[in-house]
Structure 1
Amino acid sequence: MIRKVYPAIVICAFMIAGSACHSPSGGQQTNAAQQDRTAGDSKLTFTLEKITDSLDGPVALENAHDGSGRLFVGEQGGRIRIIKDGKLLKTPFLDIRSSLVHMENKYMNMGLLGFAFHPDFKNNGRFFVHYIAPSHKKGFSNKSVLEEFRVSRDNPDKAESTGRVILEVDQPAQNRNGGNIAFGKDGDLYMSFGDGGDKHGKAGNSQDLDQLLGKIIRIDVDHGSPYRVPDDNPFVDKKARPEIWAYGFRMPWRISFDAATGALFCGDVGESNYEEVDLIRKGGNYGWRVMEASHVHDTSLYGDGGGFIAPITEYKHSTGVCLIGGYVYRGSRSPALQGRYVFGDWSGRAFYLEQKGDQWIRHRCRFEGRPDTTLPFKINSFGEGEDRELYMVTQDTVGALSPTGVIYHVAAR
């Protein structure tokens, strides 16, 4: 029997709670006001080309880097769909709706959260999915599950229906469960977890190195059973969970690697006042709940708020309500956008960061044919095609049981 998951956007929960993120700088706190230079509206003109619609609550877009050129879209309700030769296939690539937790509150961060294909997917057919399932452990109603699946031997557009669980993390609440997963250039899998959902992070999970909540972790899924912790992880042989790569996050909804440099970017959704983008450094502490972006939030447990890594950009909730992490553009169709980090806000605004020396300058994206910089839909996520072109994952209807999701190709000149 299928446990119905209402496919309303997970980001809605973030709007209620606020926003936050992180960025490294030798482990020392820096002034984000010095790093975050806002130039205002971009001199570039952005265009959006509709690729497909009729998706139910799309939250993630990935490519299989197998030479097929296919785009894979994850729906919050538990299906992964394929866009092939510009058309949305009717039959899902994967359907795990029966494994997901029932979403009693459609604004909570539940359902399918992210997925990633193994770097050698073309040969081994392996891919990994992060989703929220029921927990049978006392005191917990939900859990984050990382599960490995394989493509069918008979049909490249269909996955096998059963997988192998790699990792489970119990969740104390229904929101701020975490985000996506991504493979680095090192071949290891990186996964982001929210702080567990308690108001203002009062439980202190993000600063607690004995657990994975509020962390970005790094694991080797090619060795060990069910995985191996890389020997060079920063907390190996210390009093901490060795999987931890970086910590101090509130709700790291989207992480991504720069395909050229290997740099890891994170969009961390904040609490009361600020949204932020972080550049992730090995072993870095990004401050939550002591800090919200570069500002002191609560020092009741952790001293004076010093020694944390500040974000490379931040903005107040007068600018946006929920930061949606994106990608550094490395495609070929928009040369003017090369090397810029494009991201958005759930409110319908999009931005890009331009690095000049050690500073990151934020620009608001202007879209062709629009008098202002706010789009008439919600931005749920971003994704990359096999050719490194950029896609925006959006949703027109908020709060409906079957909201209309649309995928756009993003270009700039």
Structure 2
Amino acid sequence: MRMRLRKHRRRVLTTQYNERRARIHRTRRFSISGYNVHMRVVLAAIFTVLIGMGCIDADAVLEAFPTPDRSEVTSTRGFLPTITPISEYTSPPTITPLPKFRLAPTVTPMSRFGLAPTVTPVPTFAFAPTVTPVPKWQGFVQAEPLRELDIEQVYPGLSFDRPVALAFPEDGARRGFVVEQAGRILFLKDEDADTFLDIRDRVNDRGNEEGLLGLAFDPDFDSNGLFYVYYTANGPRRSVISRFSVGPGYNTADPGSEKVILEVEQPYANHNGGQILFGPDDFLYVGLGDGGSAGDPKGHGQNTGTLLGTILRLDVSSLDAAGSYAIPADNPLVGVAGARPEIWAYGLRNPWRFTFDSETGDMWAADVGQNALEEVDLVRPGLNYGWKIMEGDECYSRSCDTRGLELPVTVYGRDDGCSITGGYVYRGTRLPSLYGAYVYGDFCSGKIWALRFDGSRVTESIQLADTRLRISSFAEDADGELYILDLGGEIYRFAEEG
């Protein structure tokens, strides 16, 4: 009985062993067959490409691929697609040429003004992806070296009464508005000038640094007709920032529409500042001098508890009935004990003119010096520009603790002038050599300079022109072209020499 059981067990084990060997053999055969079919598919794709490129003849493909064994194909259990044997075609399969394309074109650098680059066509090639057309050039192209320029008068038939500012609203009308220090604003129309606003009845211009000094158009001027002015007034002597609105046709403004936004008492008749403009963030920026006299006798420059000696940043988008402005939440001195939250930067003596680079948004300011140096500053929020600890890049006070002070980008001394007038970073198209350079001048000498700055140092600087103008201001139009205002009554622009 036991012998029969042992024999039965051996037969069962033998049967199981043989079945296991058969399964292994079938699995190996299937794997090899699948591998062969895979290789054939890959080789077929390669030969198809070569035929499409004209590198080999189609007959070579037929010889390379004999009729596959259907049993091998179906034994792969669906992992490979069913292949129709080549022998079943009545003729060799039709090879559809792959689409042609153009490689990335060669780009020839050109002007720096946002225009599309010159594209040099290249030969076409087969077997390559479609290339998206090259977009318009948006990067920075290396500027030409700075070189000297001439100046030429614009509006030669017109003369103005001490022009101190020229502004162009972003309303598409391409009109310029000239600010006269006595208290009038004129708008330029063709070769004529008409009165836009006359507030001579409330402007004090008896001092040489007082009067109607600045004009800024609201970012939405084309729809709301609002603009802002900076002027000095008496009783008491003070700087006034006011808003006005235009009348029908946008050709005149109503003097009775004035809404006073800010008044700052001025202890003296000089160092009143005067710049007012909107930044790229649509906030209003205002420049105020240290209050005047000489040597900052009241110490306003280093006192963040006063608005004097600073550049302010105000939100005037939603004035209340009293004309009160709001404080932008990210102003640098918000929450600082004892500091005025309106302050954007401080330690300034008289930032008569500052502007924004229309491409980068950087603020450039020219700060008028005391006895020795005029300075150009790249203004950052919350920084202390040194007055009266320093004048330019030299010590002014005896203690001269320079810790935490921001030094100027450049300075010049009394051999070149006595009162700096800040300008603009040139972004126009008429003068390629000037592109990307900051332009500034001097009221006393009439000299005009340009510099390029890479973020850490001046990389190029040149005297552009030696004029006899009393340069009161520079201006920038909608095309990025620059103008020069002469306090004597005329307006100029740059021109190539010759």
- The TM-score range, normalised by the shorter chain, is 0.7 to 0.9
Bigger CA drift: 43-52 or 257-266? 43-52
Counterpart in the other structure of 1:283: 382
Segments of structure 1 that go 5 or more residues without pairing to the other structure are 1-40, 137-141, 367-372, 397-404
- Say if 1:209 and 1:241, in contact at 8 Å, map to a contact too: yes
- CA distance in 2: counterparts of 1:45 and 1:409, whole angstroms: 10
Shift of 1:357: 5.7
Letter in 1 for 2:450: Y
- CA distance in 2: counterparts of 1:320 and 1:297, whole angstroms: 19
By relative contact order (CA 8 Å, sep 6+), the higher-ranking structure is 1
**Of 218, 239, 249, the match for 1:155:** 249
Structure 2 residue 195 is matched with structure 1 residue 97: no
Counterpart in the other structure of 1:57: 162
- Say if 1:42 and 1:364, in contact at 8 Å, map to a contact too: no
Q: CA RMSD in A?
A: 1.6
TM-score normalised by L of structure 2: 0.67
Structure 2 residue 481 is matched with structure 1 residue 389: yes
Structure 2 residue matching 1:155: 3-state secondary structure? helix
TM-score normalised by L of structure 1: 0.81
- CA distance in 2: counterparts of 1:150 and 1:228, whole angstroms: 20
Counterpart in the other structure of 1:316: 413
Shift of 1:355: 2.2
- CA distance in 1: counterparts of 2:327 and 2:211, whole angstroms: 27
1:78-132, Cα deviation, whole Å (9 max, x unpaired): 00111122x232x3111110011251x4xx3100111100111101111000000
- Sort the Cα spacing of 1:102 and 1:190 in 2 relative to 1 into closer, same or farther, 3 A: closer
| Structure with more helix by fraction | 2
Segments of structure 2 that go 5 or more residues without pairing to the other structure are 1-144
**Of 314, 335, 339, the match for 1:237:** 335
- Say if 1:71 and 1:82, in contact at 8 Å, map to a contact too: yes
In the TM superposition, 1:8-157 aligns within 5 A as: 43-52=147-156, 53-85=158-190, 87-89=191-193, 91-101=194-204, 103=206, 105=207, 108-136=208-236, 142-152=237-247, 154-157=248-251
- Paired positions, count: 345
In the TM superposition, 1:202-281 aligns within 5 A as: 202-225=297-320, 226-239=324-337, 240-281=339-380
Letter in 2 for 1:73: V
| Structure with more strand by fraction | 1
**Of 378, 402, 406, the match for 1:305:** 402
- CA distance in 1: counterparts of 2:235 and 2:332, whole angstroms: 30
Shift of 1:410: 2.1
- CA distance in 2: counterparts of 1:182 and 1:211, whole angstroms: 21
Shift of 1:45: 2.8
- Say if 1:130 and 1:181, in contact at 8 Å, map to a contact too: yes
- CA distance in 2: counterparts of 1:132 and 1:316, whole angstroms: 29
- Say if 1:58 and 1:76, in contact at 8 Å, map to a contact too: yes
Identity of aligned residues (%): 43
- Say if 1:69 and 1:84, in contact at 8 Å, map to a contact too: no
Counterpart in the other structure of 2:432: 335
- Say if 2:182 and 2:205, in contact at 8 Å, map to a contact too: no
1:12-34, Cα deviation, whole Å (9 max, x unpaired): xxxxxxxxxxxxxxxxxxxxxxx
- Say if 1:390 and 1:411, in contact at 8 Å, map to a contact too: no
Shift of 1:412: 4.2
1:30-59, Cα deviation, whole Å (9 max, x unpaired): xxxxxxxxxxx9534333242243100000
Which structure has the greater CA radius of gyration? Answer: 2
- Say if 1:336 and 1:412, in contact at 8 Å, map to a contact too: no
- CA distance in 2: counterparts of 1:143 and 1:297, whole angstroms: 28
- Say if 2:164 and 2:487, in contact at 8 Å, map to a contact too: no
